[in-house]
C-alpha cells in the first residue's frame, strides 16, 4: 500500500517539476529553471529511494544471510554521489547564463511552484514516518530543501524585477552550492549504516557466555557492529546427532531470544541473528572427503 502512495507522490512531483522547468524557460527565470533542474534530479533520487526501500524489505536468502536491509543505505549513497555530479552541471549552466533578468509573469509562476511544493513535502513527510526508511528520509531532506529553495526563488525573482537584477542569477548559483553540500551530507549519513566494525570484546564475551550455558557446541561466530550500534550475527552451532530436529529448532530460537535480550541490556541492538544447527562433528566428515 505504501509503495502505491509513493508512486502517486512521484507522479505529482514529476508534474510540478515539469511546470518549474517550462515556466523557468518561458519566463526567463534562471533561478526557477535551475530549481526545476534540481527537482528533476530529485525525481531520479525519489525513484531510486523507492526501489532500494522495496529491495531492502526482502528477507535473508542463500546469498544474503543477514537480509537486504543495507540496500536501503546503499541507495542513499548513490543519491549523494548523483547530487554532487548534478550540482557541477547545474553550476556550469548558471555561470554561462548569469545576469539573465526574469519576466514579470514569472513572479506568479514561481509563487505557484512554491505552493505545489508544500503538498509534495507534506505527503512525503507522512509516508516517511510510517516506513522508517533511510533512503526515503534522505529524500524528504532533499524535498524540504527544494521547498525552501522554491520560496527563495520567488523572493529573488521579486527583487530582480524591481530592484537588483543579478539577485535571481546569484540565488541560482546558491542553489547549486546547497545541492553540493546536501550530497556530501547524504553520503556521510549513509556511511554510518554501510560501514561495519568488529564488535568490542565485552559483546563477544556476552555471546560466548550465553552459548556456553546452552546445550550446544560452537563451531563458528561471525559478528559485525555498525556505527549506529546494531549487531549482525551469524552462528554455526552443533548439537548431539540424536537430537530431534524440532528440539534443535527450539534450542536455536531460545539462544536467539536470550542473546537479543542480554545485548539490549548493554545498549546493543541485534539487527539480524542467523543460527545454523548441525550434528556434532558433521563438518569433520566433509573436510576429510
What is the value of pTM for the model shown? 0.55
pLDDT at 282: 65
| Per-residue pLDDT tens digits for 259-279 | 999 888 888 888 778 888 888
What's the rounded mean pLDDT across residues 159-188? 87
The DSSP-derived string for 156-172 is HHHHHHHT-TTHHHHHH
Going by C-alpha positions, the residue among 61, 65, 52 that lies closest to residue 139 is: 52
| Per-residue pLDDT tens digits for 56-80 | 555 554 444 444 455 556 666 777 7
Measured at the CA of 51, the angle between CA 176 and CA 225, to 5 degrees, comes to: 90
What's the rounded mean pLDDT across residues 16-24? 92
* Crossing angle of the two packed helices 167-194 and 30-56, in degrees rounded to 10: 10
What's the rounded mean pLDDT across residues 14-24? 92
Q: How confident is the model at residue 211 (pLDDT cuts 50, 70, 90)?
A: confident
Query: Which domains are delineated in the chain?
Result: 2-194 (1.20.1510.10), 197-288 (3.30.70.1350)
Cα 280 to Cα 217, 221, 283: the distances in Å are 7, 16, 8
Other beta carbons within 10 angstroms of residue 84's beta carbon come to 16
What's the rounded mean pLDDT across residues 86-94? 82
Instruction: Give the span between the Cα atoms of 61 and 218, in whole angstroms.
Output: 22
| Per-residue pLDDT tens digits for 116-138 | 999 999 998 888 787 766 667 77
Q: Residue 185 pLDDT more than 80?
A: yes
Amino acid at each position: 500500500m505504501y509503495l502505491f502512495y509513493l508512486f502517486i507522490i512521484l507522479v505529482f512531483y514529476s508534474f510540478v517539476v515539469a511546470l518549474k522547468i517550462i515556466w523557468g524557460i518561458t519566463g526567463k527565470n534562471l533561478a526557477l529553471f535551475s530549481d526545476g533542474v534540481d527537482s528533476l534530479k530529485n525525481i531520479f533520487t525519489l525513484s531510486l529511494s523507492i526501489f532500494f526501500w522495496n529491495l531492502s524489505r526482502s528477507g535473508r536468502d542463500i546469498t544474503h544471510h543477514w537480509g537486504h536491509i543495507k540496500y536501503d543505505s546503499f541507495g542513499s549513497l548513490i543519491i549523494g554521489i548523483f547530487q554532487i555530479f548534478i550540482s557541477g552541471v547545474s553550476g556550469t549552466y548558471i555561470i554561462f547564463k548569469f545576469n539573465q533578468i526574469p519576466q514579470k509573469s514569472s513572479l506568479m509562476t514561481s509563487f505557484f511552484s512554491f505552493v505545489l511544493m508544500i503538498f509534495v513535502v507534506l505527503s512525503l513527510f507522512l509516508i516517511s514516518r510510517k516506513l522508517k526508511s533511510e533512503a526515503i528520509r534522505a529524500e524528504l531532506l532533499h524535498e524540504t530543501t527544494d521547498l525552501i529553495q522554491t520560496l527563495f526563488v520567488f523572493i529573488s525573482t521579486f527583487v530582480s524585477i524591481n530592484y537588483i537584477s543579478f539577485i535571481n542569477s546569484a540565488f541560482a548559483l546558491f542553489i547549486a552550492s546547497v545541492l553540493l553540500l546536501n550530497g556530501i551530507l547524504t553520503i556521510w549519513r549513509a556511511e554510518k549504516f554501510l560501514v561495519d566494525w568488529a564488535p568490542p570484546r565485552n559483546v563477544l564475551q556476552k555471546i560466548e557466555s550465553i552459548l556456553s550455558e546452552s546445550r550446544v557446541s560452537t563451531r563458528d561466530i561471525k559478528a559485525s557492529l555498525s556505527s549506529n550500534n546494531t549487531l549482525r550475527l551469524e552462528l554455526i552451532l552443533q548439537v548431539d546427532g540424536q537430537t530431534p530436529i524440532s528440539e534443535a529448532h527450539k534450542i536455536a530460537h531460545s539462544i536467539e531470544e536470550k542473546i537479543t535480550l542480554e545485548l539490549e541490556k548493554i545498549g546493543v541492538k541485534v539487527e539480524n541473528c542467523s543460527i545454523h544447527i548441525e550434528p556434532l562433528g558433521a563438518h569433520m566428515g566433509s573436510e576429510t572427503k
